[in-house]
Copies of this chain bind each other. A is one copy, B any other.
């Protein structure tokens, strides 16, 4: 009888100790999570060779990436939300003619801009997207407006612009977006009857995106693009597709991808990252390697992605020779890179 009682006491003691341990761990985790914040951006992946880019052009890209990530980082540091940080960083890249989004986006076959963007919030799984807009200065802002105030997830073309006007957005003339370089590129592509020129492959990619984790432990992801040079037929790529170009879920990760959009849609790339983490138990880095170096090449797709898990760990993988990218952690440690 004594032996049985002793055993009971021992078991209860053990349960007690384990419970305390578990509470302690949970508490530590939550605390760490609530304080930690992190941000990463990309400005597109592609087969860019160092010799194609002058040192000064490389410096210009790096300076703009730095400006964008610092803007997002500052918001996170001041206890802003991940959505606000993603918006601020993407706005700066959209406003720069260096990237294929907003001002300086590639032009379609009619020599007009046709812009796509999407956003997703990891806490609520709320999402917003716009496709084929040509009069919205910052398409990511309209994607956020769609998410918050339309009752829909995805609006396209003139309808999306009508919604924008009703929500108080100012329209800009199409000429705002058009740069001399992009005009040359689309005219050259039209002459050669191709959507991309091999020596100007940089025109193919250059989508911008951002992932962030805020002090509240919430993830967000956003993507903005002009699509592909000389595109026709109202083509929609992966950037405005939730699950392909953009995905965020506090359970797993936030993802923004950049690459050959058709392959990224077929691979449901952004949600696949989340599914590999949630269902197959992969880390964000393992998932990114699987998607970018195994699954996409098997399909025939080239490009890259940036991803962040709910602890702020960042993965930036690409199977091309370069990807404009930057990351910055809580301590302000900055990394800005173009090539491998």
Residues of A within 8 A of B (CB): 120, 125-127, 131-132, 150-160, 162-163, 195, 232-237, 241-244, 247, 261-262, 265-268, 271-272, 275-276, 278-280, 299
A267 to B271, CA, bound (A): 9
Copies of this chain assembled into the complex: 2
Residues on B with C-beta less than 8 A from A160 are 233-234
**Residue among A120, A132, A234, A247 facing the most chain B CB atoms (10 A cut-off):** A234
List residues of chain B with CB within 8 A of the CB of A243. 241, 243-244, 265, 268, 271
**Contact indicator B233/A162 (Cβ below 8 Å):** yes
| Cα of A235 to Cα of B276 in the assembled complex, Å | 30
Could you say which residues of chain B place their CB within 8 Å of the CB of A127? 265-266
7 pairs, CB–CB < 8 Å, chain A vs chain B: A153-B262, A153-B265, A155-B233, A157-B234, A241-B243, A247-B268, A268-B271
CB distance from A276 to the nearest CB of B (A): 7
Inside 8 A of A155's CB, which chain B residues have their CB? 233-236
Q: With the chains together, A222 CA to B105 CA distance in Å?
A: 33
Contact A156–B153 (Cβ < 8 Å): no
Could you tell me the distance between the alpha carbons of A168 and B232 in the complex, rounded to whole angstroms?
17
- Given that A275-B272, A275-B275 are known contacts, is A125 also in contact with B234, CB under 8 Å in the complex? no
A-B interface, 7 closest residue pairs, ranked by CB to CB distance from nearest: A159-B234, A279-B279, A275-B275, A243-B268, A159-B233, A156-B234, A279-B280
Query: What is the distance, in angstroms, from A31's C-beta to the closest C-beta of chain B?
Result: 27
Which residue of chain B has its CB nearest to the CB of A195? B151
Q: Contact partner of A159 among B195, B235, B268, CB < 8 A?
A: B235
Most buried by B among A127, A155, A241: A241
A319: shortest Cβ distance to chain B, in Å? Answer: 17
- Report how far A273 CA is from B151 CA in the complex, Å: 25
A154 CA / B264 CA spacing, docked (Å)? 12
CA–CA, A320 and B151, complex, Å: 21
Quick check: A242 and B271 within 8 Å, CB to CB? no
Residues of B within 8 A of A152 (CB): 233, 235, 262
Please determine whether A232 and B163 come into contact, CB atoms closer than 8 angstroms.
yes
Residue of B nearest to A243 (CB): B268
